[in-house]
Structure 1
Amino acid sequence: METLAQQINIEKTKHSKIDQVDFDDLSFGSIFSDHMLVCDYKNGNWETPKIMPYGPISLDPSAKIFHYGQSIFEGMKAYKDADEQVWLFRPHDNHRRFNISAERMAMPEIPQAYFMEGLETLIGLEKAWIPSTDGSALYIRPFMFASGKGFHASPADAYKFLICLAPSGAYFSGKVKVLIEEKYSRSADGGTGFAKAGGNYAGQFYPTQLAAKKGYHQVIWTDDHKHEFIEEAGAMNIFVRLGDTLVTAPTSDRILDGITRKSILQISERENIKTEVRKITVGEVVEAAQDGSLKEMFGAGTAAVISPIATFGYRGKDYDLPELENSYASRLKKRIVDIQYNRAEDPFGWRYGI
């Protein structure tokens, strides 16, 4: 019996763009590989995926993505080691979370074979697009949106699932300065904050623009009730080091269950770094900054892995964090990246070879 991968029709591009790419100077997510995977959901079933040249897609103006925002995505990376072997990092967790997002947005789940075999087939075709420069990787964007037509405010009857690939360099570079938000909220109880839904990110842009006008790179999101508790850092989970203890907020309706976040907690436990998963008040962080017990703050996510915060602003005052030689951020990032690039043992079974 044929596997799904054997059924995927592949239409190869006649003109590859790869020779036009400087792999030693890659921005993040702005250059795309030659091919993409596309799969349609119609009449209650997923059709056989196909791989075609990367390019525009055609949609009816009444497609419900434009009107009611049914859209979800994931962020992943493929890595190439010194022997040219290709690796993914915890891909089944991405598939699981994709379907959690789909359920919350009243969209059909994508079967594991479609997600994994489609992904492996596409990456196998595009292996040459995986950068070998240290710190770079092939960013993978699986996403789904409502393609069904109509102005009626209800879930669509048709959807498109795509996977596109972008060879990418570092997401952030340099010191990151953030502003603790006191007016706007990223999400609310009972909402969609735990899903990787497009609208969650669209709603972040305006407050982030306001912060940028004040000289900050990103916003630290607080709870929607009293803006008392620190929850996320921009589009990433947040960690705060108080003394020798690493603290992060618990997941909830408002907070994404980040795969990098989970990895940091597991590595910390293995390396005897004390961690606490609990609510963190803004007042606690400010007081710790004032008395010197605040050692580190960093964001954690697929794109940046770990992004150290150099300064945070709150109520008109900036607080600089100390520069540490042996920071938890650098130590934990090295552990994760060494597993991803197959430079160290993987005691957790996270690395997935293609």
Structure 2
Amino acid sequence: MNQLIRVLVVDDSAFMRKVISDIINSDPRMEVIATGRHGEDAIKKIEEFDPDVMTLDVEMPIMSGLDALKWIMKKRPMPIVMISSKTKIGAETTLQAMEVGAVDFITKPSGAISLDIGKVADEIKEKVYYASKANVQALQNEHRPKKVEPSLIKKDRQAVVGKSSIQKIIAIGTSTGGPKALKTVISQLPASIQAPVLVVQHMPAGFTKSLADRLNRLSELTVKEAKSGDVLENGHVYIAPGGLHLKLVVQSKALSIQTTLDEPRKGHRPSVDTMFESLAQINQIDVIAVVMTGMGTDGTIGLKELKKRHNCYSIAEAEETCVVYGMPKSIVANKLADEVVRVESISHYITQYCRG
């Protein structure tokens, strides 16, 4: 019989500790072995109970979840799922936590004390379970980017128009562990790159704008949350908004973005499959498709459609740098990957292809 995954639940609300514990204990694969009231309490409970995985509230008194996470990832690295509010401050702090080393996060449906937390019960069980299997070493590593072409000013770029030339499109799909992987890849791409970048990161509404803003500050490229009607420009990164699918369409001979409320795919909206499939419908483009860390198989069906075209070059992130080797594993297993590359080298391969 498999040993139960041992979980520590940390939240300053006694109600939230009880409800989250009950949800986790209802899963036959896991058991809550202790709870904590704040960051300092969490550190003590880790030393006392040695859990396999922890849920950690972001906003707590005495020691915040972010401060506790920083201590834990330095002193006793382990898989951690953050529990966050949907506020702008909550989103920004949660994304900091992803960079520090949290595996994933869950948003409370209605504030710090969510009486309706049961709405996300399945998400809690799934994310805590898969977090327990995460590659903690990949979480700890700071993948040092190689130097890219220096550019102090983000120059104005021409919108992509016309049918006469082949346009290269970079399309990236990722999930669990994605924010940190995106930071590594996007920050290494040079401002001179002759392609726009489309990104689907599995993330709820309210968080993708903060992700785009953080990446924009760290990148030579212009990074923004995508919106319907955006006309693609080289050197720009368009991140699918949480809760909406991102598709590419041709309007007035220009390539532009369309966001939709179509049904989720495999529980995801935005979906990597949806983005890839929309690209497969467009002529006169070359696609560099990149699938990085994440649980599940999103991207495989869409990449099969893209691979029916002769002009799709695909990159899967290597297992050793993935936080969760699910999405890239499916790409490799289905023999859809032209390259299997460590995350810190992905931008190099993209840049070389775009020069070709």
For normalisation by structure 2, the TM-score amounts to 0.27
Q: Tell me which protein shows more strand as a share of its residues.
A: 1
**Which structure has more RCO (C-alpha within 8 Å, separation ≥ 6)?**
1
For normalisation by structure 1, the TM-score amounts to 0.27
Q: Tell me which protein shows more helix as a share of its residues.
A: 2
